[in-house]
């Protein structure tokens, strides 16, 4: 699937860049362009992709702190300039645009949903969100920001692929090392999903079409991505169990949104050397996925790659009713209450903001 990535805020820019780099290093050519927008000059200076500083008159290049309302206001006020800058970057070859952001902060949290709305007004291709939720250890303001932003982002974008910052980290990393490692994992996993819908050179076939990703995300709402890999035997016949076990791991322990298993739609991609992919294993894994997710629409396909490993990618569409999302929204609502205790109207605003629609 050919995409254009637009990172908003610090995390958004870093993740857009990491994804573009992964795609470039592997020669997939799924990422057609990557661009970063931010209110903080210093964050943009660390990036190699093209960038745009917004809100200079309001915050003088210093960022909005954790103020996501200010982030949203600035994006709204400068929407025309941002869209002008994107004109020509969002090419007609692109199958979709991804707006990438961490939802716990200010610029991405407030700005990404606003930008998605603008993009949808102008372009006919799907506009997806790639959104990072704050980890459990991050403070109340991050949780509250992310709760509101997720709700708005889900309404404005065609679908939001959510990554919980606690999901793909390993325990022995510091926060900074942790972010870099998580970004690499996001880049690899989302990068493989996007590349799966592309023709791979030397193989001459594309068994997963970009329309299958688009159809999996068609009903909107929240999406998640699961990933796992394992060494594969040279003989496909020996890999039936390896494939089913890898698919199970992708859904149950390798997912970007833990404990979100029930889904409207799903796509199972088995990546690996064509000689090592056991058809029977793929069929069983798909059947298992149908039962586990309760979805009547499970798509599947191979992604031919020259590798000794086999990987499973599980894209779920419509997971907003899952336990995990509900728990997060409860946490965000609770955080918002605490944060806004002195000004009772803010909590009402949060409630009235149709937060419950998500569930
Ligand atoms: P913004 O620049 O105001 O949009 O805010 P940031 O992007 O700095 O932070 C927003 C949220 O994104 C934080 O609460 C973290 O959860 C997360 N975050 C920040 N940097 C990174 C990063 O490099 N990788 C990941 N995965 N998450 C990040």
Report the alpha-carbon distance of residue 270 to residue 298 in Å, rounded: 13
* Ligand 1 atom with least separation from CA of 109: 4
| Whole-number pLDDT of residue 200 | 58
What pLDDT, on a 0 to 100 scale, did the predictor assign at position 199?
61
Atom 20 of ligand 1, nearest CA residue: 11
Pocket test for ligand 1, best of 132, 139, 256 (most atoms within 8 A of CB): 132
What confidence score (pLDDT) does residue 342 get? Answer: 55
Instruction: Tell whether 107 is in a known binding site.
Output: yes
The structural domains of the chain, with segments of one domain joined by +, span 3-196+322-358, 225-317
- CA of 209 relative to ligand 1 center, distance in Å: 32
CATH number of 225-317: 3.30.1330.20
Per-residue pLDDT of the chain (359 residues; tens, 9 = 90+): 999 999 999 999 999 999 999 999 999 999 999 999 999 999 999 999 999 999 999 999 999 999 999 999 999 999 999 999 999 999 999 999 999 999 999 999 999 999 999 999 999 999 999 999 999 889 999 999 999 999 999 999 999 999 999 999 887 777 777 899 999 999 999 999 999 978 655 554 547 889 999 999 999 999 999 999 999 999 999 999 999 999 999 999 999 999 889 999 999 999 999 999 999 999 999 999 999 999 999 999 899 888 999 999 999 999 998 888 898 999 999 998 887 665 444 445 455 444 445 54
Superfamily of domain 3-196+322-358: Tubulin/FtsZ, GTPase domain (3.40.50.1440)
pLDDT score, position 203:
56
In whole angstroms, give the CA distance from residue 248 to residue 45: 41
Q: By alpha-carbon position, which residue is closest to atom 8 of ligand 1?
A: 10
- pLDDT at residue 344, rounded to an integer: 44
What is residue 16's predicted lDDT score, i.e. its pLDDT?
98
In angstroms, the CA 48 to CA 91 distance is 20
Name the nearest CA neighbour of 274 among 303, 300, 254: 303
48 alpha carbon to ligand 1 midpoint, in Å?
Answer: 18
Give ligand 1 pocket residues (Cβ under 6 A). 9-11, 14, 102, 104-109, 132, 134, 138, 142, 165, 179, 182-183
pLDDT of residue 204: 43
Nearest CA to ligand 1 atom 14: 104
- Residue 151 assigned as binding residue: no
Q: Cα separation of 133 and 214, whole Å?
A: 23
Q: What is the ipTM of this complex?
A: 0.99
> By CB neighbour count within 10 A (0-12 exposed, 13-18 middle, 19+ buried), where does 298 fall?
buried
10 labelled as ligand-binding?
A: yes
């Amino acid at each position: 699937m050919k995409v254009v990535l637009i990172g908003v805020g610090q995390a958004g820019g870093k993740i857009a860049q990491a994804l573009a780099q992964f795609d470039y290093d592997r020669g997939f050519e799924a990422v057609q362009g990557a661009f970063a927008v931010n209110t903080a000059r210093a964050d943009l200076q660390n990036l190699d992709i093209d960038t745009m500083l917004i809100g200079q008159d309001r915050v003088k290049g210093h960022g909005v702190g954790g103020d996501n309302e200010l982030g949203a206001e600035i994006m709204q006020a400068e929407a025309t300039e941002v869209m002008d800058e994107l004109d020509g970057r969002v090419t007609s070859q692109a199958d979709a645009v991804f707006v990438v952001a961490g939802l716990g902060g200010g610029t991405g949290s407030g700005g990404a949903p606003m930008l998605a709305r603008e993009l949808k007004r102008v372009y006919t291709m799907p506009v997806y969100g790639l959104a990072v939720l704050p980890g459990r250890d991050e403070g109340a303001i991050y949780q509250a920001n992310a709760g509101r932003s997720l709700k708005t982002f889900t309404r404005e974008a065609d679908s939001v692929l959510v990554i919980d910052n606690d999901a793909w980290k390993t325990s022995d990393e510091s926060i900074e090392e942790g972010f870099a490692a998580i970004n690499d994992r996001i880049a690899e996993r989302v990068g493989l999903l996007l590349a799966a819908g592309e023709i791979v050179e030397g193989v001459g076939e594309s068994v997963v079409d970009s329309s299958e990703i688009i159809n999996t995300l068609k009903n909107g709402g929240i999406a998640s991505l699961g990933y796992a890999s394992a060494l594969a035997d040279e003989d496909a016949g020996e890999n039936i169990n390896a494939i089913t076990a890898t698919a199970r791991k992708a859904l149950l322990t390798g997912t970007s949104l833990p404990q979100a298993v029930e889904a409207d739609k799903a796509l199972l991609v088995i990546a690996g050397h064509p000689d090592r992919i056991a058809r029977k294993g793929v069929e069983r894994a798909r059947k298992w996925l149908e039962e586990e997710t309760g979805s009547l629409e499970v798509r599947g396909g191979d992604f031919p790659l020259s590798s000794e490993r086999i990987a499973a990618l599980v894209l779920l569409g419509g997971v907003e009713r899952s336990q995990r999302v509900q728990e997060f929204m409860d946490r965000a609502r609770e955080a918002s209450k605490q944060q806004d205790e002195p000004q009772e109207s803010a909590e009402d605003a949060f409630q009235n903001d149709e937060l419950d629609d998500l569930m």
